[in-house]
């Protein structure tokens, strides 16, 4: 009796320690996220997403930025509704026919309120979702593998991923849809074992929330449908609670019930009356190739059509090698123990990845990111009991430690992270939102102050405003600027002639002439602030100064 009590106390102590370690991982994630938020300026789409979300709250309509569903935008803008935020620029919305770029510029930069007081609280709302995803990974790993150590490992791998951190601190839909996709797949995994009315409701709501986060979530729905069919075909039962019939009929009945709950949840986000906007947005995304999607970049090549293998390369270079190694070894050993219901955790991310690759919308590894949390679960499986336990424990420690060290060395510039497969400049392989999303202006200003540079020639990719950071500049050709600029003209007699160029433009992306800055690639930068802005000091180089002065801002 005494032995069993002691054993129970030991189990409770170990459970408490596991929870404490997971909480420490989440706190570490939050602190790094705050450092990222403070150090990085607005990325390309953040202003548009924030202004759109605010417009939904104050106007009750959803016709601004309809190419993305409203759920995350509503969450991000909630802090603005709860405090004394500037008025919504209705006059700009009317004059520009709800152009979200002009609305965002007016709301963030012409409202008389410091832009970061609007942007940073919204980013922290997204960071909360990121912390929730780290916690959810730990819980699911524990449930799937039945081990507290595995739960801790899953939480650790998630917290140590710089890409997850960056996407948690930026107003982009990718992290949010990853969270709801993981939650929905997990609930299906639970339901396959113990059906209940509560799980039916939770599943339906989670489906609706997932589809309200990003339109690409339809790929997860397709994966879940396929997983359900395979599950039933292999002899499993997937029916409404209390029913034990097998076959496609009960599965379709369950699917219908979930569709109704999910549709009602999704329609509620649009206040029901504007629900047709969701279908319009989905149609836009399915046909976005015909609208033109800029340029894609991979391994030094520029393409307007993209590559089928883009996301495979991007994820291999952007995810920590410790994570990839642990996931690979765990997969070879026994992927998710091949439980039949593990289909709900395996098939959806595979379908999502396949469809993302087929779409060739190569805007960054983020477009395939909803697949990544499932890798955390797989990597955590390295901690399960079995043969070679000591060797696997050592390998797990190395992989997790490797990931932690890797992410610490890059914070607060997690968006520019590349693993050790990339030696030197990551822009040789990837660009766009993998590296340069317009976030580097605060770092440029910090470098200017530290080096006594009063004004720069600026070729900037993004929608952030340099003057909002106190940067004096002469505008060079760039992409993304909205509205009038307060830029100056640098005199030929200026003491210093310094050029700051966004990585995307230095590579030739998003410019009418890809070789606009080609001649600068032969110069050695004096600094690369934030890992995405190249700074060249041309002082004394008469020919180079004349060349840069001949350029005109666009």
What's the pLDDT tens digit per position in 279-296? 988 988 887 655 555 689
C-alpha torsion sign, points 157, 162, 168, 169: positive
Give the pTM.
0.95
Task: Decide: residue 3, CB within 10 A, 0-12 exposed, 13-18 middle, 19+ buried.
Answer: exposed
Name the percent of the chain lying above pLDDT 70.
Answer: 96
Mean pLDDT, to the nearest integer, of 248-272?
95
The angle, 0 to 180 degrees and rounded to 10, between the axes of the packed helices 115-145 and 100-109 is 110
pLDDT attached to residue 95: 95
pLDDT at 3 over 70: no
Average pLDDT over residues 419-448: 96
Q: Would you place residue 242 in the very low, low, confident or very high pLDDT band (cuts 50, 70, 90)? A: confident
Tokens standing for 500? Answer: 């700051």
Q: What is the 8-class DSSP label of residue 85?
A: P
At 420 the pLDDT is: 94
Q: At what angle do helices 115-145 and 173-193 cross, to 10 degrees?
A: 20
pLDDT at 2: 57
**How large is the average pLDDT for residues 102-108?**
96
Beta bridge partner(s), residue 298 = 301
What does DSSP assign to residue 461?
B
List the one residue out of 30, 47, 43, 151 whose CA is nearest residue 108.
Answer: 47
pLDDT at 331: 87
Confidence of residue 400 (pLDDT cuts 50, 70, 90): very high
Mean pLDDT of 92-103: 95
Q: Does residue 310 carry a pLDDT above 60?
A: yes
pLDDT of 215 over the 70 cut: yes
Long-range contacts, 241-250 (Cβ 8 Å, 24+) = 241/195, 241/196, 241/197, 241/199, 241/200, 242/195
**Least trusted range by pLDDT, from 65-74, 252-261, 326-335:** 326-335
pLDDT of residue 5: 58
Q: Which position has the higher pLDDT, 293 or 540?
A: 540
Q: Is 532 helix (H, G, I), strand (E, B) or coil?
A: coil
DSSP letter at 65 equals S
For the segment 416-442, the average pLDDT, to the nearest whole number, is: 95
Q: Which residue has the tokens 């390998």?
A: 395
Task: Say how many Å lie between the first and final Cα of the chain, rounded.
Answer: 80
Q: Taking a C-beta distance cutoff of 8 angstroms, is the pair 343, 233 a contact? A: no
Q: Is the pLDDT of residue 554 over 60?
A: no
* Mean of pLDDT values over 219-239: 94
pLDDT at 12: 85
Q: Looking at the predicted structure, is the pLDDT value of residue 234 above 80?
A: yes
Higher pLDDT, 335 or 268: 268
Mean pLDDT rounded to a whole number for the chain:
92
């Amino acid at each position: 009796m005494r032995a069993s009590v002691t054993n129970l106390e030991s189990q409770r102590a170990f459970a408490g320690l596991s929870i404490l370690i997971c909480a420490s991982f989440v706190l570490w994630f939050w602190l790094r996220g705050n450092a990222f938020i403070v150090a990085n300026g607005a990325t390309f789409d953040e202003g548009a997403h924030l202004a759109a979300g605010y417009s939904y709250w104050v106007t009750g309509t959803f016709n601004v930025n309809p190419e993305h569903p409203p759920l995350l935008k509503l969450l991000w803008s909630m802090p603005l509704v709860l405090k004394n935020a500037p008025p919504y620029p209705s006059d700009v919305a009317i004059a520009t026919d709800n152009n979200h770029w002009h609305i965002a510029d007016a709301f963030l930069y012409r409202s008389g309120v410091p832009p970061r007081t609007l942007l940073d609280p919204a980013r922290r709302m997204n960071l909360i979702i990121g912390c929730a995803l780290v916690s959810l990974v730990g819980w699911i790993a524990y449930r799937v593998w039945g081990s507290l150590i595995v739960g801790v490992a899953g939480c650790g791998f998630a917290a140590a991923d710089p890409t997850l951190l960056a996407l948690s601190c930026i107003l982009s839909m990718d992290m949010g849809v990853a969270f709801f996709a993981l939650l929905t797949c997990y609930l299906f995994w639970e339901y396959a074992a113990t059906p209940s009315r509560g799980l039916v409701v939770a599943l339906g709501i989670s489906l609706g929330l997932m589809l309200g986060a990003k339109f690409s979530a339809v790929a997860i729905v397709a994966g879940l449908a396929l997983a359900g069919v395979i599950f039933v075909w292999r002899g499993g039962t997937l029916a409404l609670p209390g029913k034990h019939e097998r076959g496609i009929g009960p599965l379709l009945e369950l699917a219908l019930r979930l569709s109704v709950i999910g549709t009602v949840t999704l329609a509620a986000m649009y206040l029901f009356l504007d629900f047709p906007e969701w279908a319009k947005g989905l149609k836009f995304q399915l046909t976005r190739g015909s609208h033109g999607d800029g340029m894609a970049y991979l391994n030094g090549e520029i393409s307007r059509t993209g590559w089928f293998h883009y996301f495979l390369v991007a994820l291999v270079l952007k995810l920590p090698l410790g994570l990839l190694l642990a996931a690979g070894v765990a997969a070879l050993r026994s992927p998710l123990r091949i439980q039949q219901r593990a289909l709900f955790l395996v098939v959806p991310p595979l379908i999502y990845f396949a469809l993302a690759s087929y779409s060739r919308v190569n805007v960054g590894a983020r477009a395939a990111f909803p697949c990544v949390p499932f890798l955390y679960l797989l990597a955590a499986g390295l901690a399960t009991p079995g043969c070679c336990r000591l060797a696997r424990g050592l390998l797990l420690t190395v992989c997790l430690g490797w990931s932690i060290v890797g992410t610490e060395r890059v914070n607060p510039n997690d968006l520019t992270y590349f693993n050790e497969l990339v030696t030197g400049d990551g822009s040789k392989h990837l660009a766009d939102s993998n590296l340069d999303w317009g976030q580097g202006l605060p770092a440029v200003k910090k470098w200017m102050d530290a080096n006594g540079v009063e004004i720069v020639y600026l070729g900037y990719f993004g929608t952030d405003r340099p003057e909002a950071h106190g940067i004096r500049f002469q505008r060079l050709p760039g992409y993304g600027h909205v509205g009038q600029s307060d830029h100056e003209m640098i005199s030929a007699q200026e003491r210093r002639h310094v050029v700051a160029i966004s990585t995307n433009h230095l590579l030739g992306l998003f410019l009418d002439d890809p070789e606009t800055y080609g001649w600068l690639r032969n110069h050695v930068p004096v600094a690369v602030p934030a890992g995405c802005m190249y700074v060249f000091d041309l002082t004394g180089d008469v020919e180079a100064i004349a060349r840069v002065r001949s350029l005109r801002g666009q």
